[in-house]
Structure 1
């Protein structure tokens, strides 16, 4: 009996992990197989707010837990100060890493653009050389 009761929650978790697109596919397949199933999935998506949110349920739960953990104090001021300093340092490192990734992307974009312009100029030179070597009137 317990396996029968848990398969809907396992299916819900499986779909949540794959995002809103998986829910929409499940709904469409439900309509194709037997229209009341598709209708039930549609109503469930609306009722559980999966239809209108861009985030998965697990993502928002994670973010709430992180925020709650930051605000929670242990009562030990030395540990709380250490924790706050460590979190601040990690956030600084994360920002520095994101800035590094942005610089890498910009460098890659510039290199690709420079290569494009070089190829374009080379093709224009080759066309001009070919036209000069092969005059149309000759």
Structure 2
């Protein structure tokens, strides 16, 4: 940053005067000047980050537009009738292949969903069978007097 600039994010007489003038004219202007004096040296990094983020967003839009153009979503003709006809046939063939792949994917998703449902049903049935199994109380028999295994009983 140029340190010889008249207005820079530092406590110089010019910035102090502008801050005071800003408070006199309209207080948000003075507050903005105060913020610039205090945090203005961070603006370069902030500006760089914002530019990088927006470049990333718009690069994604450009990639999406390029893909759409490549997949024939553009009505631009090349002027070569034979090539345009061949391209249209290929794009139709690819669209048909895409449709078949989408149908196969939907069928597989249905199959996998049915398998998960069957597995869940089997686990649930096993749980219910174990839960509803009648519990038989265990009976303990007392040994006859004098015949016990405990030495203190004798």
TM-score range, shorter chain: 0.5 to 0.7
- Per-residue CA deviations over 1:58-90 (Å, capped at 9, x if unaligned) read 522422532678533343333322221111110
Q: Which runs of 4+ in 1 moved over 3 A?
A: 34-38, 45-49, 67-70
Counterpart for residue 126 of structure 2? 122
Compare the two structures and name the one with the higher helix fraction. 1
Which structure's relative contact order is higher, taking Cα pairs within 8 Å and 6+ residues apart?
A: 1
Matched residue of 1:95: which SS?
helix
Unaligned runs of 5+ in 1: 1-33
Structural RMSD (CA): 3.3
Name which of 78, 81, 104 aligns with 2:108. Answer: 104
Counterpart for residue 91 of structure 2? 87
TM-score (norm 1): 0.54
TM-score (norm 2): 0.49
**Does 1:39 pair with 2:80?**
no
Map 1:20-59 onto structure 2 (within 5 A): 35-36=42-43, 38-45=45-52, 48=55, 50=57, 56-57=60-61, 59=63
Return the index of the structure with the highest Cα Rg. Answer: 2
Unaligned runs of 5+ in 2: 1-40, 139-154
Q: 1:77 to 1:38 in 2, by over 3 A?
A: same
Number of residue pairs aligned between Structure 1 and Structure 2: 98
